[in-house]
Structure 1
């Protein structure tokens, strides 16, 4: 076997083991020692390819977000209206998580319990994924008749604030739910509902009620 091929296979073997380790545990509970013992990989090989636990973890996070983004780019989600299109987007994400449970774990831990010292690097690694969803929302807005006085820029700003608040809420809930998959399911179920409220409001307008005061 050529040296290059052997090196590639070793790297892929370490990454597969790391995705399993970080994809089933939190960052704090994951361990390179456990990774090595359970997969018969020497620590020397791991540290030859990766400087430390942080670098290996970030590589797994990067692979997770890249895989998610490519998956979504190859799916069709657009429907007749913005509400159905957004629901399709999140159903698509749920399907991805069912097919890739380790990515589900990694994704939600970066949302609800990211390692504080790696928060900025994680944010940079997920930028392409975030940009994809932001662009999807922008394209849907351009095809939607908005209320008088609501600009695309204002709607986009509101959308970003909404996501920030929503994810912050689930960071606080993460201490209550130890099962990350249960939290992920709860997150996805409520996200589409709250997006619907964001788009259409909560109050039913009474007959004859004026739209402007």
Structure 2
């Protein structure tokens, strides 16, 4: 095997081991030592390819979101139901990225928020596109502008994820949090659009 090929193989072995570790654990709980054990790789070899834990973690996050965007790229337009169907099918095809995705979404390391935001840029734009598509198929109330609706979406999206971040702090099982997050997302989207009370005529 040529040196260049050996380099690619070793780098991929490190990444695959790191994907497993970061999928199973949050950034804080993930261990470089355990990544070494998973892949039977020396720590010196890992640091030859990656500067530190941060760089390796960000590479795993990048792979996760790139794969997800490739999955969504097979369709031009989404409503919320189809969007969620594609999300479910993505995690069935790539179960080893599920933990990384939700850990990134709900407990991004504070010191890496800027870097993660850059990686998530296309994903966030897709979410906004889905919302805008929904807006284009409804009539807004007279006192609600398109821009106000977009600002409302940003506020509600952040509040929704903050609600589940709080559940993490309360010590609720992370798999249960993920289940609740996905189960409530469509219902939340519906309530955000149509409200929670009947308007009296």
Equivalent-residue separation in structure 2 for 1:182 and 1:101 (angstroms): 16
CA offsets per residue over residues 28-76 of structure 1, 9 Å max, x none? 2111111112221121211110001111001101111111111112146
Counterpart among 75, 86, 94 of residue 100 in structure 1 = 94
Which residue does 2:51 correspond to in 1?
51
- Displacement, 1:168? 0.9
Aligned to 1:47, what secondary structure does the other structure show?
helix
Which residue does 1:132 correspond to in 2?
126
Equivalent-residue separation in structure 1 for 2:60 and 2:173 (angstroms): 21
Question: Structure 1 residues 95, 76: CA separation in 2 closer, same or farther (over 3 Å shift)?
Answer: farther
Equivalent-residue separation in structure 1 for 2:104 and 2:40 (angstroms): 28
State the aligned residue count.
Answer: 201
* TM-score (normalised: structure 2): 0.92
- Displacement, 1:178? 4.3
Which residue does 2:182 correspond to in 1?
188
Which residue does 1:64 correspond to in 2?
64
Q: Are 2:95 and 1:111 aligned?
A: no
Which residue does 1:81 correspond to in 2?
none
Q: Map residues 63-212 of structure 1 onto 2, 5 A cutoff.
A: 63-75=63-75, 78=78, 85-206=79-200, 209=201
**Is the CA contact (8 Å cut-off) linking 1:17 and 1:35 kept in structure 2?**
yes
- Structure 1 gaps of 5+ residues are 79-84
- Displacement, 1:202? 1.1
Equivalent-residue separation in structure 2 for 1:178 and 1:97 (angstroms): 22
**Is the CA contact (8 Å cut-off) linking 1:105 and 1:180 kept in structure 2?**
no
Equivalent-residue separation in structure 1 for 2:35 and 2:180 (angstroms): 29
Which residue does 1:82 correspond to in 2?
none
Range with bigger deviation, 50-59 or 134-143: 134-143
**Is the CA contact (8 Å cut-off) linking 1:21 and 1:35 kept in structure 2?**
yes
* Runs ≥4 residues deviating over 4 A: none
Equivalent-residue separation in structure 2 for 1:132 and 1:116 (angstroms): 24
Which residue does 2:19 correspond to in 1?
19
Aligned to 2:170, what secondary structure does the other structure show?
coil
Aligned to 1:132, what secondary structure does the other structure show?
helix
RMSD: 1.7
Equivalent-residue separation in structure 1 for 2:100 and 2:122 (angstroms): 16
